[in-house]
Amino acid sequence: MRIGVTTTGGDAPGMNAAIRAVVRYAIPQGLEVVGIERGYAGLITNQIIPLNLRSVGGILHLGGTFLKSARCPEFKTPEGIKRSVEVLIENKIDGLVVIGGDGSFRGAMDLSKASGISIIGIPATIDNDVAGTDSTIGFDTAVNTALDAIDKIRDTALSHERIFVVEVMGRNRGFLALEVGLAGGAGVILIPEIKFKLDTMCKRLRVYEESGKASTIIVAAEGIGDTAAVVNYIEKNTKYEVRFTKLGHIQRGGSPTARSRLLADLFAAKAVELLLQGAKDKMVGLKGNSVISVDFNYACNAKKPLDKRLYKLAEDLAV
Ligand code: ADP
Ligand code: F6P
């Protein structure tokens, strides 16, 4: 069997660890492995490189992905899929590991239908917004990166007695904001899953003011929309001085944490085993302490629940 491995969508710390583990788990079992550079964009344009045990040395601790990643609108067209199937056939690839998020798995389902080959997904995104897995590769690293930034911002918040509104990533979902907010002792957490009124938030901030709380951190998920409007509203409706910090892409980079690397190793081994068993259209995932497989259909179409108890706990502690 000759398998391909590729990274697509937004990069996430631990993708390199996952590529390395796929290669080093597969080759000793008699599989040949090739890397497809730049995700589906590289598939369409035949950017295929051979991988061996040594070519994945020295990358375990690096963020990003040495295979590069890309977004590829062309892949969503019938021509893009047709060309991808031709490239798979030309390169004699009969199994594929796709490391990415739910968008990547939607594409994988189309490709598997058109090509008939086995495709297994490994969830990797800092947003942790893929259904069917408790966690995704890169999420823990991003939580820790954002937390480190917030701890630093807190120094200024305390010294100058200000409110800081800190926007963290999360295009549609608030998993990152919720964990960072709880772990970082945020006074308020704003996420798309929990409706909030600016007026109610300011009442809460005034209670803080009256209780002598001179500063606080508000963690807002990118997915809530207009964070600048939140800042303006607080400035107008409380006595606090307010600053806004958007953490941005620093959350996507950096050396993966132990947890992100372990997840990469566990997911990669399971993905290769599934390919050897001839499984199709599956994503590997974490449920409690077990590594499981779930249907792509579920991973792509179910809405991952957010643990609202964490939100309540953060509120309880922010007094
Ligand atoms: P992620 O995998 O991190 O969610 P994207 O949503 O950007 O990232 O998806 C990565 C790539 O997967 C896209 O550039 C596109 O080529 C492919 N893709 C995304 N959504 C679909 C879809 N609905 N159907 C087919 N392919 C898709
Ligand atoms: O999907 C991960 C993510 O970091 C989102 O939280 C964010 O909205 C998006 O990627 C930004 O992606 P890019 O800068 O690559 O367009």
Q: Return the pLDDT at 25.
A: 98
For the Cβ of 185 lying below 6 angstroms from any atom of ligand 1, the answer is no
Q: Catalytic residue among 102, 127, 129, 281, which? A: 127
pLDDT for residue 275 = 98
Cα 106 to averaged position of ligand 1 atoms, centre (Å): 6
Q: Is 127 an annotated catalytic residue?
A: yes
Q: Can you tell me the mean pLDDT for 230-246?
A: 95
How remote is the CA of residue 109 from the centroid of ligand 1, in Å?
11
Ligand 2 atom 9: residue of nearest CA: 171
Q: Contact, 127 vs 33, CB < 8 A? A: no
The 3 state secondary structure assigned to 261-305 is HHHHHHHHHHHHHHHHCCCCCEEEEEECCEEEEEEHHHHHHCCCC
Helical ranges in the chain per DSSP H: 15-26, 39-44, 78-90, 102-115, 139-160, 175-183, 198-210, 227-237, 258-276, 296-301, 308-317
* Residue 16, pLDDT score: 98
pLDDT of residue 70: 96
Q: Roughly what angle, to the nearest 10 degrees, separates helices 15-26 and 258-276?
A: 40
**Which residues share a beta bridge with 221?**
168
Tell me if the pTM is above 0.95: yes
Q: Confidence band (pLDDT; 50, 70, 90) for 132?
A: very high
Instruction: Report CA(254)–ligand 1 centroid distance (Å).
Output: 23
What pLDDT score does 287 carry?
98
If you average pLDDT over residues 150-159, what whole number do you get? 98
Q: How confident is the model at residue 306 (pLDDT cuts 50, 70, 90)?
A: very high
CA dist 172 and 128 (Å) reads 11
Q: What is residue 255's DSSP assignment?
A: P
Contact 138, 256 (CB under 8 A): yes
CB 284 within 8 A of CB 120: yes
Q: Both tokens of residue 149?
A: 């930034």
> Is any atom of ligand 1 closer than 6 Å to the C-beta of 106?
yes
Determine whether the shortest distance from the Cβ of 104 to ligand 1 is under 6 A: yes
How many helices, marked H, and strands, marked E, lie in the chain?
11, 11
**pLDDT, mean over the chain:** 97
Q: Which ligand is nearest to the CA of 126?
A: 2
Query: Per residue in 42-101, pLDDT tens?
Result: 999 999 999 999 999 999 999 999 999 999 999 999 999 999 999 999 999 999 999 999
Cα(171) to centroid(ligand 2), Å: 6
| pLDDT of 133 | 98
Cβ–ligand 2 distance for 127 under 6 Å, the answer: yes
pLDDT at residue 308, as a whole number: 97
Could you say which ligand is closest to the alpha carbon of residue 13?
A: 2
What pLDDT sits at residue 5?
Answer: 98
Give the residue from 16, 37, 19 showing the smallest Cα distance to 27.
Answer: 19
How confident is the model at residue 281, as a pLDDT? Answer: 96
Q: CA nearest 193: which of 169, 213, 174, 221?
A: 174
Does residue 311's CB lie within 6 angstroms of at least one atom of ligand 1? no
Centre of ligand 1 to C-alpha 123, Å, is 13
- Which pLDDT score is estimated for 163? 97
**Which ligand sits nearest to residue 70's alpha carbon?**
1
Fold (topology level) of 2-138+256-301? Rossmann fold (3.40.50)
- Ligand 2, atom nearest to 126 Cα: 2
Q: Does 3.30.565.10 match the CATH number of domain 142-252?
A: no
Nearest to 146 by CA among 217, 239, 68: 217
pLDDT of residue 249: 98
Q: Does the beta carbon of 114 lie inside 6 Å of ligand 1?
A: no
Q: Which atom of ligand 1 has the smallest separation from the CA of 70?
A: 14
Index of the ligand 2 atom closest to the CA of residue 169: 6
d(CA 20, CA 26): 10
Going from the C-alpha of 281 to that of each of 38, 89, 96, 105, 302, the distances in angstroms are 21, 19, 10, 9, 15
pLDDT digits (tens, 9 = 90+) for 159-215: 999 999 999 999 999 999 999 999 999 999 999 999 999 999 999 999 999 999 999
The residue to which tokens 């919720």 are assigned = 178
Task: For ligand 1, say whether the CB of 71 is within 6 Å of any of its atoms.
Answer: yes
CATH 3.40.50.460 occupies which residues in the chain? 142-252
Give the alpha-carbon dihedral of 84, 85, 87, 90, to 10 degrees. Answer: 180
The pLDDT confidence band at residue 13, using thresholds 50, 70 and 90, is very high
Q: Is the CB of 10 within 6 Å of ligand 2? A: yes
CA of 110, closest atom in ligand 1? 25
Quote the pLDDT of residue 196: 92
Task: Please state, for a pLDDT cut of 70, what percent of the chain lies above it.
Answer: 100
Q: What Å distances lie between residue 104 and 1, 78, 303, 318, CA to CA?
A: 23, 16, 16, 38
Domain with CATH 3.40.50.450 in the chain: 2-138+256-301
